[in-house]
Structures are given as C-alpha cells and as structure tokens.
Chain A
C-alpha cells in the first residue's frame, strides 16, 4: 500500500517536471516566432511549486536533506535517536502550524488570479499546506520507526546510515 503510494508520488513528480520542461521550451520557441504564451509560463511556475514539495518529500524519505551531523555524530546511538526525535517533534509542530495558516490564507484569497492567464493563485498557496502535511507525515513515520526499534538498534532519523551514497546536485 505505502509502496504504491511512493511510486505514485515519484511518477507524478517525474511527469510534472517533464511537463514543465516542455511548457518552458514551447513558450521559448513560440515567443521566438512572435507569439508569446503567457499561460504556459504561469502554468510552469504553478506546477513547479508542487514538484518542489513532492521532491522535498521524496528527499526526506531518502534522508537526503543536508544537515550538519558533525557534532551529533559523536553522540552514542540512543541519546542521538532521542535528540533526533525531539527535533522531529519541533519540526512536526512547525509544519503543522504552517499547514493550518496556509490553509486559512488560501481560503481568504480564493478570488486572486494568476497574472493575466486566469489561473487561480490559490492553486499555488494551497501547495504550502499540502506540502507541509506530506513532510510532517513522512517525518512522523520515520520517527515512529526509529523509536519503536530503539530497543534493538539505534537508527538516526535525519541521516541515512552510510555516507557512501551521497549524490546530490548541490552547487
């Protein structure tokens, strides 16, 4: 069940990114021939915020978000898991507040339209609470796994076990 969900998430994000490429590519070509497509760029930016949050959630699941574990690496296993769990709780609280505020903000501004193309801007704003809910639920799941296995193994929440498989495209 959850495996299917992850696959669907990845598939959706991949398709959206590919669509964004062609929207911007197409807009560039048509502008070159003198027919700018305003809606195409607006739609690309709308989809981009969704790709960003879907990607952020996928990165969180892979424990790929960059953090500094220089100091906490020196902590023994279990205290480190407990510290991670505490931080995760703070994080979930933050994401929860952002989700509630973001939802309210979206409901307040339902009429606002995107530039000239008539796409409702609410579709952008709603990505923030939706993304925060996704991130929070992933984080809760990871914290739960780590805490429930605490008796047998100490598995940090934010960092993957091995450092060997880092392959990010960070500048």
Chain B
C-alpha cells in the first residue's frame, strides 16, 4: 500500500497523466503483492462493466450537444432578463446561468469554459476587473456540478454504491443555496465597487414570460429528468440516453439549430472526454481492489475514531482532509480513490451516504477552482488572460461563501436530505 501511494504521487508530480500514474501505482501492488497480476487486468476489464457508469458518456454527450442546439444561448437570454438589473448585473447573470446550465449539463469545467468564452469579454468591457470576472465564472460553475445531472455524483454513486437517483434529488437544494450565497457575495462586492446594473429595474412580468417561453425546452429538461428518476421508472443511465435523444429532438426539430456537422463534432468531443474519464476509472479498478484487500478503511477508521467518536467531527475532519487533497489532486481521481475509503468510515457512525456524497463532491470539486492545481481555474484564467495571482485574491470571498455553505450543510443534514426523503 505504501509502495502504491508513493509510486502514485511521484509519477503524478513528475507530470505523468493521472490515468497512467494510477495504473502504474495500482499495478505495483499486484506486481509485488500476494495476488497474481492477472487479477489486476481482470479488475480493469470489470471496472467498465457497470450499468450506472453508462450515464457518464450520455450526460457528457448531451452537454456537448446543448451548446449546438441553441439551448445555451436561450438560457443566457433568460438569465439576463431575470437578474441583470441587480448590482453587478452581469456577474449575477453568470451565477444564475450556472444554475440553469446545471439542469442540463453535469460538468463544472465545461460550464466555466463556456461562460468565460461567451460572457467573460462583456464583463471585462463593462469595467469588471479581470480577477473578479474570472473568479465569478470559475467558482459559480460549482453550482453546475451540484445541480442534477452531475457527473461527480454519478461517479460517487457508482463507487460508493449509493442511489444515484437520491443523490440527484439531494443536489437540488444545495445547488440553489449556493446560487443564493454567491449572488449575495457578488452583490456586496459590486455595491462597494460600483459595478453597475444593466437595466433600470426588475423586468416586467411580460418580459419574464417571453424569456421563459423562449427557453422552455431547456427549462423543461431538468424537470422531466427529475420526474423520470423520481418515479423510479428509469435508471440514471436510461435517463442519460433520453437526455441525448431529447437534445437531438430539440436541436433538429424544435430549435432547428443542430446540424449534422455539429452532431458529429459533439460525438467526437464526447468520445474524447469519455476516454479521458474512463481511462482513469478503468485503471483505478486495480487501486480499488488494493484498498479493499489491504483494509485501508479499517486502518484509517481506527486512527480517526481514536481522535473522536462524534459523527459531525469525523465528517468535518474528513472534509478538511478532502479540501486539502482537492487543492492538489483532480476531483474525479479523489472521488474514485477516496470514496471507498471514507464512505465505510462515516456510514457506521450514522451519517447518510447521500448527505456525505453531496458534501464530499462539493469539497473536492471546489478544488478545481483553487490553486495550485485547478482545472476550472486554469481554463478560465487562460481564456480571459487573467493572472492567477489576481484570480486568487478575487476568488477568496466566493470560496469563503462556499465554505460557509458547506459548514451549514454539514451541520443540518435535513437541508440536503429532505427532498430525496420526501420524493423517493
């Protein structure tokens, strides 16, 4: 186990892609340990044979199609009508757009990249500082990853054997709360700096109705998705396949904006993204086996419970550890490697797997928005040409707001759990 961990970290720090670092580290366990290496190969093959995992390529593909079906542009129009009259209007638009996109897309980085390209330049042109613009766009993309469908929650449910349907339902309230927290933060900063509004006052009822009607197919999608999962009629993977077909129907028939070329591009991008995520998942199958074989959860649990038996404190300790790990390691990797370690530790203490999943996903995904290693941060900063130092200073209030929210959610599990408990 020590050899495995050391191999992983050394290879990763030297710049080897994470998927290969995980593979070689996992293989080192089988090459030196009591189990024959062919078991390792078997683990890689069987890691792919999970039906819930099929939701990953489906929601990735649906997300790539959304941008080409006119759904994204209509959602931008909708959020601009709704909130651009507030102080820091364009920043508020970014935050609300992340929430609306959250209902059709499951990836924080994709949302951040889209907003940095489409909205970022207009924020800077209106006098918002580069750092503030980058921070609002990057941190608010965390909302997209929390509101269902969420790729992170699918992976967590897959490794931890937790109901993905319940996880999806549990993501709604935290996602909306996060939107509120970030909007208040942006409002406070905008007021102090005099970032203006885009309209004189709140929109008229007619204007809201027009914007909502224009974006109706995009806004209906998350409702249809939740209804399908809630009724237990369809599994998350089937809902993912529906999402692709839905995006196709909206793009080809209803909006008439999707072209054959666009569809092929979306497919290719989805295949590449799937390959990237799946190579990590496949190779981590070996590490997962090693973790169970070496009884790592039991060892760490013993050490943790020697410190404290109080469930809330144990969860808090785990979250602090995940936050620090998230600063350095990519979130997919953390979910795949650490869920099988930490979930068996907190579950016997009476912590709900769904509650813990929302907390864990939020904390590790936040790592994509913080230095030194953060994919969303680098993507937004490079697209907006913003120095990382400026980003870091300006993102502090937003990251702080998210941390406050995480504390609130940790202390009141009911906030997370009442929707799934009421509906499923």
For A16-32 the 0/1 string (1 means CB < 8 A from B) is 01101110110110001
For A56-88 the 0/1 string (1 means CB < 8 A from B) is 111110101111111110000000100110010
Q: Does B332 contact A (CB under 8 A)?
A: yes
How many whole Å from A119's CB to the nearest CB in chain B? 12
Set of chain A residues within 8 Å of B273, measured between Cβ atoms: 55, 59, 168-170
Binds A, one of B184-192, B307-315, B372-380, B396-404: B372-380
Structural contact, B270 and A168, CB atoms closer than 8 A: no
Q: Which residue of B lies closest to A44 (CB)?
A: B54
Q: Does A143 contact B (CB under 8 A)?
A: no
Set of chain B residues within 8 Å of A60, measured between Cβ atoms: 17
Structural contact, B41 and A166, CB atoms closer than 8 A: no
Set of chain A residues within 8 Å of B113, measured between Cβ atoms: 166-167
Expressed in whole angstroms, the Cα–Cα distance for A161 and B372 within the complex equals 19
Structural contact, B48 and A48, CB atoms closer than 8 A: yes
Set of chain B residues within 8 Å of A27, measured between Cβ atoms: 238
8 Å CB contact of A17 from B53, B155, B271, B361: B271
8 Å CB contact of A65 from B17, B42, B244: B17
Q: Does B151 contact A (CB under 8 A)?
A: yes
Structural contact, B267 and A98, CB atoms closer than 8 A: no
Q: Does A39 contact B (CB under 8 A)?
A: no
For B21-50 the 0/1 string (1 means CB < 8 A from A) is 101100100000000011011101100111
Structural contact, A10 and B58, CB atoms closer than 8 A: no
Expressed in whole angstroms, the Cα–Cα distance for A84 and B15 within the complex equals 8
Structural contact, B271 and A14, CB atoms closer than 8 A: yes
**Interface band, chain B:** 35 or more
8 Å CB contact of B264 from A14, A28, A52, A90: A14
Structural contact, A166 and B27, CB atoms closer than 8 A: no
Structural contact, B18 and A53, CB atoms closer than 8 A: no
Mostly helix, strand, loop or mixed at chain B's interface?
A: helix
How many whole Å from B196's CB to the nearest CB in chain A? 30
Set of chain A residues within 8 Å of B13, measured between Cβ atoms: 68, 71
8 Å CB contact of B107 from A17, A80, A169: A169
Set of chain A residues within 8 Å of B134, measured between Cβ atoms: none
Within 8 A of A (CB), among B353-400: 361, 365, 368, 372-373, 375, 378-379, 382-383
Interface centre among B24, B41, B365 (most CB of A within 10 A): B41
Set of chain B residues within 8 Å of A18, measured between Cβ atoms: 267
Set of chain A residues within 8 Å of B72, measured between Cβ atoms: none
Q: Which residue of A lies closest to B245 (CB)?
A: A25
Q: Does B140 contact A (CB under 8 A)?
A: no
Set of chain A residues within 8 Å of B347, measured between Cβ atoms: none
Structural contact, A170 and B64, CB atoms closer than 8 A: no
8 Å CB contact of B271 from A55, A90, A127: A55
8 Å CB contact of B267 from A17, A124, A166, A167: A17
8 Å CB contact of A87 from B14, B50, B264, B361: B14
Expressed in whole angstroms, the Cα–Cα distance for A17 and B107 within the complex equals 19
Mostly helix, strand, loop or mixed at chain A's interface?
A: helix
Structural contact, A55 and B15, CB atoms closer than 8 A: no
Q: Which residue of A lies closest to B239 (CB)?
A: A28
Within 8 A of B (CB), among A88-125: 90-91, 94, 97-98, 101-102, 104-105, 124-125
How many whole Å from B44's CB to the nearest CB in chain A? 5
How many whole Å from A140's CB to the nearest CB in chain B? 14
Expressed in whole angstroms, the Cα–Cα distance for A97 and B12 within the complex equals 20
Set of chain B residues within 8 Å of A98, measured between Cβ atoms: 23, 27, 41, 44
Q: Which residue of B lies closest to A45 (CB)?
A: B49
Structural contact, A87 and B11, CB atoms closer than 8 A: yes
Q: Does B60 contact A (CB under 8 A)?
A: yes
Structural contact, B382 and A105, CB atoms closer than 8 A: no
Contact flag A56-B238 (CB < 8 Å), given A171-B108, A171-B152: no
B residues engaging A (CB < 8 A)? Answer: 11-21, 23-24, 27, 37-38, 40-42, 44-45, 48-51, 53-54, 57-58, 60-61, 63-64, 106-110, 113, 145, 150-152, 155, 233-235, 237-238, 240-242, 244-245, 264, 267-279, 282, 328, 330-332, 335, 361, 365, 368, 372-373, 375, 378-379, 382-383
Q: List 12 A-B contacts (CB under 8 A).
A: A32-B233, A45-B48, A51-B274, A55-B271, A66-B18, A67-B16, A70-B373, A83-B15, A94-B20, A105-B45, A128-B44, A170-B276
Give me the 9 closest cross-chain CB pairs, A-B, nearest first. A55-B275, A52-B278, A65-B17, A28-B238, A171-B152, A56-B275, A171-B151, A49-B48, A72-B15
Extra contacts, 6 of them, besides A17-B267, A87-B16, A171-B108 (Cβ < 8 A), are A21-B241, A48-B54, A49-B48, A67-B21, A158-B16, A171-B106
